């Protein structure tokens, strides 16, 4: 008799038959042998079946089960009632059991499927046709069916779960528990959801649909975190599969687990320092609370670090340091003179690692390269009821983009510093003001509600640092200034001039541009308009 309502969950269900069809054969043979040893019948498809047979395992072909050969280049092989009936049948429903008996459908207790490597195909820059061919159809269909019927069926989508399945079966005399099958089902639906998200994201890019009607993002758990921004917030870190160099792909050599704030700040630091081509010399960025408190170039990495540190030694304490070249011993020695949370660089010498080894709480991360600051990508941010999506800010300037709007032209040295300051401004929370002199920041004003306040704060911090390091005068004397957006009034520019700035770079576009230009001319400043702003909220 057909059940009027779902019956209570069945706890222990023996595993008697498994269907295995995998593209990633990592750990496959050991897993399949262990299943066979426990008396599990193996059913398989194509290359997976051949791999198992070559290893001496007894396998039934899916074609034998369905009565139909694989066809259409393998596109049609598991989409059949003999497969989906075996996955979806409720073993405590009389009508389902009658149907199974009438049509010779055998139950499938364990489904092991990982999908065609669509994400990897896209990542290697394959053609449109190749990407389409690597969209799995039968795999997701089977996974969803098995996951829906987790009351009776185990579904495995990741080789990482093989050992857990074997341990569960060993603990329960060849059976699995309902709670265990629930966890497998959750992982399975997460996998198909992520797979569909990857396909839809690729499709949107392929047909240049900038704002598709539905947008999906997905990630894979990298680690659970002790807490979020604050101790009362739970948090976790997920990777998105893009392999962009940074925290997600870095090797951690030492130190305790990264925190939520560590990851956020380290990402900000590495993205900033990557703006400076290592072929043009060493550069260092020091970050505190996602804002740079010092950025500099130098003849050596040690010098670059020292110059960045001298911008704001107070804020640098407990900060994040990013380098655009491998960490060397001399720089490592200097860094250990104060407390630092994280250092990230595209490599580190054995000597540098040995220096850090004595600082157990200092995390050292290395990557194989820098992220490309000009690469395209998406950035998103949650808001109540939804999320905002935009292109990653990969905006960059060339000399042809610069428009001198004042009577005085900037000198070559000023121009070099102006472009440096503009690059840093892109990574400072708005309203952003950056003073730069000789390839190093000397004052940073970030995140103020008023642009003139950012200008004053940056100048005051530079004055404080001059006193701390025994400089004869404010470090802003003879500096240049970058503003991430236009000056709405002349007061911000006047404040920068009073601090000793000689040249300014800003987007322009204010209703009072003429007033701002006139103020610059009156004070003998050179000013460049970029036509591009870099708000960062």
Catalytic residues: 148, 289
| DSSP class per residue in 108-173 | --EEEEE---HHHHHHTT--HHHHHHT--SHHHHHHHHHHHTTTT-EEE--GGGHHHHHHHHHHTT
CB 328 within 8 A of CB 346: no
Number of CB atoms found within 10 A of residue 71's CB = 10
Q: 283: which residues sit within 8 A by CB, 6+ positions away? A: 273, 276, 295, 296, 297, 298, 304, 323, 324, 325
Q: Dihedral of the CA atoms 240, 243, 248, 249 (nearest 10)?
A: 150
What gap in Å lies between CA 288 and CA 307, rounded to an integer? Answer: 16
CB within 8 Å of 5: residues ≥ 6 apart: none
CB 325 within 8 A of CB 302: no
Question: Would you say 459 and 442 are in contact if contact means Cβ atoms under 8 Å apart?
Answer: no
219-228: list long-range contacts, CB under 8 Å, 24+ apart: 219/194, 220/194, 222/248, 223/257, 223/258, 225/257, 225/258, 225/259, 225/260, 225/263, 226/257, 226/259, 227/259, 227/260, 228/260
Assess contact for 362 and 356: CB atoms under 8 A: yes
């Amino acid at each position: 008799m057909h059940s009027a309502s779902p019956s209570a969950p069945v706890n222990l269900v023996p595993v008697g038959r498994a269907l295995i069809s995998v593209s990633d054969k990592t750990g496959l043979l050991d897993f399949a042998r262990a299943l066979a040893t426990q008396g599990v019948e193996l059913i398989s498809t194509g290359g997976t079946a051949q791999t198992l047979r070559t290893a001496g395992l007894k396998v039934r072909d899916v074609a034998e089960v369905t009565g139909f050969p694989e066809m259409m280049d393998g596109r049609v092989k598991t989409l059949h009632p003999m497969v989906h009936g075996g996955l979806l049948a409720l073993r405590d429903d009389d009508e389902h059991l009658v149907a199974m008996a009438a049509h010779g459908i055998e139950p499938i207790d364990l489904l092991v499927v990982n999908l065609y490597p669509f994400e990897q195909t896209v990542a290697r820059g394959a053609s449109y046709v190749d990407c389409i061919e690597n969209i799995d159809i039968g795999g997701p269909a089977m996974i969803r069916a098995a996951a829906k019927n987790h009351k009776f069926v185990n579904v495995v989508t990741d080789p990482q779960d093989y050992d857990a399945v074997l341990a569960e079966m060993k603990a329960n005399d060849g059976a699995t528990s309902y709670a265990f099958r629930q966890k497998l089902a959750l992982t399975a639906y997460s996998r198909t959801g992520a797979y569909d998200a990857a396909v839809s994201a690729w499709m949107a890019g392929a047909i240049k649909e900038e704002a598709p009607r539905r947008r999906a993002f997905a990630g894979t758990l990298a680690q659970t975190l002790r807490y979020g921004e604050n101790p009362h917030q739970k948090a976790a870190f997920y990777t998105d599969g893009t392999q962009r160099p940074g925290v997600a792909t870095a090797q951690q050599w030492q130190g305790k687990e990264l925190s939520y704030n560590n990851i956020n700040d380290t990402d900000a630091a590495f993205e900033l320092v990557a703006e400076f081509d290592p072929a043009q010399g060493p550069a260092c960025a020091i970050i505190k609370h996602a804002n740079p408190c010092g950025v500099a170039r130098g003849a050596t990495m040690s010098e670059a670090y020292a110059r960045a540190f001298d911008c704001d030694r107070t804020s640098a304490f407990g900060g994040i340091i990013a380098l655009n070249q491998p960490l060397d011993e001399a720089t490592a020695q200097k860094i250990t003179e104060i407390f630092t949370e994280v250092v990230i660089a595209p490599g580190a010498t054995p000597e540098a690692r040995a220096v850090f080894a004595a600082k157990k709480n200092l995390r050292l991360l290395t990557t194989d390269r820098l992220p490309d600051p000009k690469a395209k990508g998406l950035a998103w941010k949650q808001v109540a009821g939804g999320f905002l999506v935009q292109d990653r800010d990969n905006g960059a300037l060339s000399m042809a983009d610069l428009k001198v709007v004042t009577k005085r032209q900037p000198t070559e040295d000023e121009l070099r510093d102006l472009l440096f300051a503009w690059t840093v401004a892109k990574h400072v929370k708005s309203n952003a003001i950056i003073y730069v002199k000789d390839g190093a920041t000397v004052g940073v004003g970030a995140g103020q509600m008023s642009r003139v306040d950012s200008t004053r704060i940056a100048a005051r911090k530079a004055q404080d640092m001059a006193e701390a390091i025994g400089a004869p005068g404010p470090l802003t004397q003879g500096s240049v200034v970058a503003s991430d957006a236009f000056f709405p009034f002349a007061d911000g520019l006047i404040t920068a001039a009073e601090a000793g700035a000689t040249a300014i770079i800003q987007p322009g576009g204010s209703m009072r541009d003429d007033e701002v230009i006139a103020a610059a001319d009156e004070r003998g400043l050179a000013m460049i308009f970029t036509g591009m702003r870099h708000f960062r909220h």
